[in-house]
Structure 1
Amino acid sequence: MKFVDEATIEVVAGKGGNGAASFRREKFIEKGGPNGGDGGRGGSIYAEADRNVNTLIDYRYARLHRARNGENGRGSDQYGAGGEDITLRVPVGTMIFDAETGEQLFDMKRHGEKITLAQGGAGGLGNLHFKSSVNRAPRQFTYGKEGEHRKLRLELKVLADVGLLGMPNAGKSTLITRISNAKPRIADYPFTTLHPNLGVVRSSEAHSFVVADIPGLIEGASEGAGLGHLFLRHLTRTRILLHLLDVSSLDPDEDIVAKVAAEARAIVEELRLYSEELYAKPRWLVLNKLDMVSDPEDLKARLLKELEWEGPVFGISALTGVGTQDLVYQLQSWLDEESRKEHIEQDIADGTHIYDERFAPD
């Protein structure tokens, strides 16, 4: 599933330092010549495509990026230090537009590609440069130039990493609200979600992934029932599916295990009927609303036995957040490992892979 991740930032390159007008002053040297140094260049701002970055979420909060100015020149032929450059790491596939004109400036398609967003100003010249045969003691110097100042719009077409799968009203929207920045419409009736919602989940300072809340599936979805074709198509590009099951019940006489197992089998069958590729995708079981069950462990054991499930399983409460953090960490770890394998395969295909036995699998 694709969606457009956007961020608007302002980049201000550093101003160049001013040149100095000074003269050599030493004992017994009555008329020393000019020795004013040049100003340092202002810091520039670059963008570098990094395949380890997934989203533009960092730039929604850090909007202003200002590089340091260059230092002024000094006497004794001392040049000013240059301002420190800033490099912004962005995902591969990021397109950069001028926010004011809408013109596309860059399209960063390759890992490691580096471009200049704002060039630092050149440093001014010291009076050392203005000495001539007719002007032995020049007092001229030049000022440093201003750095470039731009407003830019970053745009990224992102594929969702994780797809949420489940019956209507299973708690998918509540979960995506709990773990990400998405704010879907939530209500206590089926089919509240009529369009896919996407959210960026931040698991640490440097790690994030995209999760898609697909509208609930019903039996017959593979044949188009309940807008099924439209929803199932969105899941085909995700890397892993979370199958969310609502294990709560308002009826004390209801056999909740049989009901949940039947719903789970119905969803899995719809996946198989729609696409073998989708059916074969990695799938984790997530038992939601477990806090509303009197004996969670017993219910979990009976349900897994009924489904003959041997894969990963997580018990959570999307409403209170219990168990969601562990789920996020496990997903991030799994996605990072998959990305590492893909990067190695890509590097081998490009002929750039360097084997390191420290990172070899056991």
Structure 2
Amino acid sequence: MKFVDEAYIDIAAGDGGNGCVSFRHEKYKEFGGPNGGDGGRGGHVFAVADPSLNTLVDFRFSRRHEAKRGQHGMGSDMFGAAGDDITLKMPVGTIVTDAETGDVLYELLTPGECIMIAKGGDGGFGNMRFKSAINRAPRQKTPGWPGERKSLKLELKVLADVGLLGMPNAGKSTLIAAISNARPKIADYPFTTLHPNLGVVRVGPEQSFVVADVPGLIEGASEGAGLGLQFLRHLQRTRLLLHIVDLAPFDEGVDPVAQAKSIVAELKKYDDELYHKPRWLVLNKLDMVPAEQRAARVKDFVKRFKYKGPVFEISALTHEGCEPLIQAVYQHIRAQQVSEQQPVEPDPRFAERPA
């Protein structure tokens, strides 16, 4: 299925039902009094985070979503029934934005999370609501309130612990296929990856993390060149970035250092927070470098790139060096998760009393 990470929809909650004007009519009850009921509430519009979805493509073909209006009030003290609610299933990681103002309204970050994105209108009052000691035969009623109507922009940012970035043909798809259960398209030409791929990396029993492979970046990606601007957003929620570098480019005259620096520059232009996110250097395709030249080429690259963080030398094709990379990534993510967990303060009401 084609990956779609943006969509525009119009939603309308149901209007409330109108109140009813009615009087009690029974034999021998000459002055039965008012018995017009209230109108029913209009249906709400909910959004739920469905972990089985990974695209917003359904909303490209169905833009208008309306909930049912509430039933009108009736005589004999009968209130109108509430309108049926509707629930829109969206992928986890969807951001709901007001299409007119650009304000972010909601974010669906937890599987199963359900939020109300449009409230149904309240029902109108029937004439029994206006009965009083001085108004025993009221003929007043109120119409139902209109439901909320909104034009929304849906934007999907994939939720992953680790993001892979690099030039086209750097070997990102080969790496995610080697270390996870993802099976992306792999070929020997640029821009093989046209949409993000997610894979779960199993480190051990109940030990895993999620890695995302996004389309390759080129110079000018932050300004819309290639596919970069469309998918750079997917790296914003990751905990760690792995900068994949082709240490043995196919084309002669191509400088891997210049390519790597251009990627870093695009990150800084796009988002300063993304630029300062933890980023490790992964030198790939060592199987294509003669064994006697590997150490010198790696040393030369790190020196010219002026990089001082962790460096991993791998071959995604032969899986060489992948296991140490996986273990290091998991330990880093686990340490971040532990540091983010805030200690729970004990409730003073249940503190132990002195003897």
Q: Give the letter for the 2:337 counterpart.
A: S
CA distance in 1, matches of 2:266, 2:216: 12
2:50–2:111 contact (8 Å) kept in structure 1: no
Q: Does 1:305 align with 2:271?
A: no
Deviation at 1:159, TM superposition (A): 1.7
* Aligned match of 1:185: 185
1:5–1:158 contact (8 Å) kept in structure 2: no
Q: Secondary structure at the match of 1:314?
A: strand
Q: 1:289 aligns with which of 285, 300, 324?
A: 285
1:178–1:318 contact (8 Å) kept in structure 2: yes
Deviation at 1:158, TM superposition (A): 7.0
2:158–2:234 contact (8 Å) kept in structure 1: no
Q: Secondary structure at the match of 1:203?
A: strand
Change (3 A) 1:320 1:227: same
CA distance in 1, matches of 2:169, 2:189: 6
CA distance in 2, matches of 1:221, 1:343: 35
Q: Does 1:276 align with 2:272?
A: yes
CA distance in 2, matches of 1:233, 1:249: 27
Give CA deviations for 1:189-220 in whole Å, capped at 9, x if unaligned.
Answer: 00010000000111001111000001000000
Question: How much is the aligned-residue C-alpha RMSD, in angstroms?
Answer: 2.8
Change (3 A) 1:170 1:200: same
**Mapping of residues 66-85 of structure 1, within 5 Å:** none
CA distance in 2, matches of 1:227, 1:321: 28
1:169–1:188 contact (8 Å) kept in structure 2: yes
1:261–1:306 contact (8 Å) kept in structure 2: yes
Q: Give the letter for the 1:339 counterpart.
A: Q
Q: 1:319 aligns with which of 311, 317, 332?
A: 317
Give CA deviations for 1:122-181 in whole Å, capped at 9, x if unaligned.
Answer: xxxxxxxxxxxxxxxxxxxxxxxxxxxxxxxxxxx9720000000001000000000000
Identity %: 55
**Mapping of residues 156-171 of structure 1, within 5 Å:** 159-171=159-171
2:51–2:111 contact (8 Å) kept in structure 1: no
Give CA deviations for 1:56-84 in whole Å, capped at 9, x if unaligned.
Answer: xxxxxxxxxxxxxxxxxxxxxxxxxxxxx
2:179–2:322 contact (8 Å) kept in structure 1: yes
* Aligned match of 1:243: 243
* Aligned match of 2:214: 214
Count of aligned residue pairs for this structure pair: 204
- Structure 1: which 5+ residue stretches go unaligned? 8-54, 56-91, 96-106, 109-156, 354-362
* Aligned match of 1:267: 263
TM-score of the aligned structures, taking structure 1 as reference length: 0.52
CA distance in 1, matches of 2:172, 2:244: 7
Q: Give the letter for the 1:200 counterpart.
A: V
**Mapping of residues 192-203 of structure 1, within 5 Å:** 192-203=192-203
2:247–2:256 contact (8 Å) kept in structure 1: yes
- Structure 2: which 5+ residue stretches go unaligned? 6-48, 54-91, 93-108, 115-156, 348-355
CA distance in 1, matches of 2:253, 2:304: 12
1:289–1:317 contact (8 Å) kept in structure 2: yes
Change (3 A) 1:167 1:249: closer
Change (3 A) 1:305 1:192: same
